[in-house]
Amino acid sequence: MVGIVIVSHSAAIAAGVVELAREMGGPDVALEAAGGMDEPGHPLGTDAVLVMAAIERAESGGGVLVLMDLGSAVMSAEAALELLPEGRVSAALLCEAPLVEGAVAAAVAARGGMALDQVAVEARGGLRAKAAHLGVEVEVVEGAAGLVQGERPVVEARITITSAHGLHARPAARFVRTASGFDAEVEVTNVATGRGPASARSLNALATLAVRQGQDLLVRAAGPAASEALAALEALAASGFGERHGPAEPAGPPREGLPVGPLEGDPPPAGSALQGLPASPGLAVERARRYDRSELEPPTDSAGEPDAEWQALELALVRARSDIEQRLGTALRRSGEHDAAIFDAHLLMLEDGAILEPARRSVEGGVNAARAWSAAVAEAAAALREAGDSYVQARADDVEDVGRTVLGHLLGTAGVGPVVESPCVLVAADLVPSETASLDPELVRAVVTAGGGLSSHSAILARSFGIPAVVGLGACALTIADGTLVAVDGEAGLVHVDPDAALLTDFERRTRDRREAERDAQERAHEPALTADGRRIEVVANAGSSDDVARALAAGAEGIGLLRTEFLFTERGDAPGEEEIEAALRAVASALAGRTLIVRTLDAGADKPLRYLPQPEEDNPFLGVRGIRLTLAEPELFSTQLRAIVRVAADHPLKVMFPMVATLGELRRARALLDEARAVVAREGVAAPDRLEVGVMVEVPSLALCADRFAAEVDFFSLGTNDLAQYTMAAERGNPRVADLPDGLQPAVLDLIRRVVEAAEARGRWVGVCGELAGDPLAVPVLVGLGVRELSASAPALPLVKRAVRSLSFPDARALATSVLGLDSAAAVRDLLRGDRG
């Protein structure tokens, strides 16, 4: 990655520019300040030795860009280059770009993986307004589509998008990050519609392609790492972008609510029922409270100097980033990583050239920053709304939400969203994600909107926050007067206005039943999960980061049954060191305070690529080098993680688990490396544990079929039912044409679980489940009946999983499990379980 050095006469200015650039470029960019003199107090001036030292610190293999303010700063930088020992840095370039704007642009470009000369071109973009004023032409390469041109070799590939909603915000964000990680220019075209090409570095440009599930992308790349970029993008798509899979929504007209027009007529009469779209399940009866968003109007007066206007916009972008990061944190605490990723996409929009470049051109043309930004946002949102796909159209709301956040800071009137002081049903024209994220479920009992659709990010957040919501009612929703009693049925999509006594009684009964079940589950969430006849089932949580642990414990987790350590290895330019891994694992173990912790070793591969560990292209990454196969092929990387695990296990109860094991040979080689890691740590004087419990994830049918032989060599098994179902049924979860096959309740999958449990019990071992099936209360009776002793699920599911366990007797559960094994399909199993549940 290119490093950046800021040279200024003032140490404070240099430090401030570095701080601003780091906010925009991120913590991974090597930014160094060289300001003031090397004397007490750092008086004004520049020092060639300080600059030389900063260049050496900033070098990380990609060269160093040096930006200077004026006068002696340039001379000191030139002298620093002469002082540098030969070979100390790969390349260093003094750049005439403006200090602040150039530093910000360079940091973003460096973070995107551009080469040194490209970073310099981006930095010089800040000079265009000055150059135009002086009549000097400056050549600048725009970050637009159509980059793959000229005589350079071009490689291309077709990629099929299998995510349920196509290339929407979260997978598109991953696509952009992956493409930006290579020294290649990449453009994308939607083969089915002909839309494109679009730059793979622009989130909004990708969104305008309106890519649905099952459609193909033509991806073309040029540059030194073009083939590697294509391979990584193909692997990313093959993995489903890490998304939850399911059938796509049917193609056709947008599934949005009625357009909101001028209000006409009287409020709905008492007893009427308004039909909308069921956006979030649940029931609520409360008084209506209207929320009207205040509109932000950019000023029409003339702009100041272009440089000053652009600096104002850059400052607003930095402040907006802070706001969105706070929303991300809130969403992480309340709904977990998957839904919180909505705000990851919002952060990427702050860097999107499809918005920033038009805004920059307008500012250079004399338009004030607020109006230039508003126009660019409006243009990007309009392009999304032109798509014939409701999911893509809904992304326009996200663009406008981010745009409004930035505009608020430009105008000095940053909004705070709805202010609610007492319980209510919130009625609005529509809500954007930032407003939904600010809602308190204790006060906002339900949401009713005139506009919006099922695929909007606000609807997704409402579901994850547990707030019932009905959307798309049309303008009639806005005629509901403040204080009107309304009954909201989020499952049916109905809003009852001034309901009669009979309907209120029915709502009260249904609400009471639901709340009693949830209250019982929550009140007893921290109690052990015992069946009616006293069989103990350990209920633990899956965690994908250290932040997940606190949420899991609050939800009643008895420990962590699956710690996915990929969070330590992904979205970075190099592998973590042993000390970093140890510190992260120790923090998790300390937070658990002696509770169960099962650490899964790195589960990566061609389907989950690591930027710093490129893998050869594979025809089918799901059947290639992934999981334990990859770590065995990279023993240095594997041993580093194993030594860190051993160090933590010396002080905390910790078990280790190997993923994607298919043969006994793989298990034995992994155990040999673990024994070697224990020996290394012991030689260093660390009290390594005498024995470390070792388990395997059962994801490959070959392991399940040979479970009796594995049981002699492991301490426990943990069933990854997502992959086990996929491999057993030879059906990829993201393929809509076979979406009904890879179901953990398929009798064939359940029979494999039975075989593993029987083999484990014969050797005195235990079996857990850490796939999605463990968090499904409907499946709990079958899993318990098959003999599973541990269930590891996402934190929100834990209270209801425990409640499901307590509703069982083990003999009845075993009889139920035996009966479902004789059925023909997962659908038949689910029908029987629903009938049995009553």
Preceding amide of 197 cis, omega within 30: yes
CB burial readout 224-244, b (16+ within 10 A) else e? ebbbbbbbbbbbbbbbbbbbe
β-partners of residue 596 are: 559
Q: Find all residues with CB under 8 Å of 603, minimum gap 6, and list them.
A: 564, 565, 566, 626, 627, 659, 660
- The whole-angstrom distance between residue 235's C-alpha and the CA centroid of its chain comes to 17
Handedness of CA 679, 685, 691, 697 (dihedral sign): negative
Say how far apart CA 505 and CA 125 lie, in whole Å.
66
What phi, psi does 600 have (nearest 5°)? -85, 130
Give residue for tokens 């658990």: 592
Both tokens of 552, joined, read 């899991």
Contact between 532 and 808 under an 8 Å Cβ cutoff? The reply is yes
Residue of 630, 742, 192, 268 lying closest to 481 (CA atoms): 268
Contact between 295 and 400 under an 8 Å Cβ cutoff? The reply is no
Q: What angle do CA 557, 563, 564 make, to 5 degrees?
A: 140
Q: In what order do the strands lie in the sheet with 485-489?
A: 273-275, 494-497, 485-489, 283-291, 424-428, 444-449, 469-471, 277-280
Say how far apart CA 423 and CA 427 lie, in whole Å.
13
Say how far apart CA 230 and CA 218 lie, in whole Å.
11
Say how far apart CA 450 and CA 260 lie, in whole Å.
6
Is 457 part of the annotated catalytic residue set? yes
DSSP helix/strand/coil, 450:
coil
Angle between helix axes 99-111 and 11-25 (nearest 10 degrees) is 40
- CA 692 vs CA 33, 541, 651, 720: distances in Å: 47, 21, 12, 22
What phi, psi does 520 have (nearest 5°)? -60, -45
Angle between helix axes 353-364 and 306-335 (nearest 10 degrees) is 160
Residue of 545, 62, 22 lying closest to 329 (CA atoms): 545
Is 770 part of the annotated catalytic residue set? yes
Say how far apart CA 383 and CA 205 lie, in whole Å.
9
DSSP helix/strand/coil, 265:
coil
Both tokens of 522, joined, read 């929550």
Choice among 457, 476, 496, 652 that is catalytic: 457
Choice among 95, 424, 476, 770 that is catalytic: 770
Active centre residues (catalytic): 457, 770
